[in-house]
Amino acid sequence: MAAGWWAHQGALPLWAAWVAATAANIVGDTVSYLIGRYFLDRLLNTRLGKRLLSPELRDWGEDFVRRRGFGSIVLGRFLVALRGPVYLAIGASKYPFGRFELINSIVAFIEGAALVWLGYVFGHSVKVAHEVRWIEIAIGILIAAILVTPFLLKRHLVRKGAQSRPPQAA
């Protein structure tokens, strides 16, 4: 949206704002994916990594990406604060790089066009542009809550089930 605002102010053509914003998004997403693919495995196999993310939860996440890779990428793009971690997880699952880039780039071009256009249209009013950004963040939080709630519920039920079982004899 900021790129659209700059285009509205005459600092650069609208098409250049769109290309620059989209390219920056794609580069950042690619870096997150590559870090996840080549480094996250080593981090998660440490004692700290296992405390941050249980092996069972990690297996569940990787299986989710294998089953719903396209949906994972698209949803990750719209989870404003969680896109980096989601793309780290997609990379860690060894999702095919070319497919990731193709899907992510197409969605980034569409989203980038929409956001730059909104920034351009509302460029005369920084206040309105700021309010539109909060709406986008609120939608991202809502989507994250919808996605995270089943995971938290499952985790709670697994822990509750483990606590209710009688201790096993050695």
Q: What is the pTM of this model?
A: 0.65
Q: Nearest Cα to 75, choosing from 92, 67, 66, 87? A: 87
What is the reported pLDDT for 97? 94
Computed over every residue of the chain, the mean pLDDT equals 81
- Cα–Cα dist 63/127, whole Å: 43
Q: How confident is the model over 158-168, as pLDDT tens digits?
A: 787 767 666 66
Domain-by-domain residue ranges, the chain? 2-160
- Cα–Cα dist 64/72, whole Å: 8
Q: How confident is the model over 76-92, as pLDDT tens digits?
A: 887 777 777 888 888 98
Q: Nearest Cα to 93, choosing from 47, 61, 68? A: 61
For the chain, the straight-line distance linking the first and the last C-alpha, in angstroms and rounded, comes to: 62
Identify the residue whose tokens are 């920056």: 24
Choose from 35-39, 143-147, 161-165 the range with maximum mean pLDDT: 35-39
Identify the residue whose tokens are 């994250």: 144
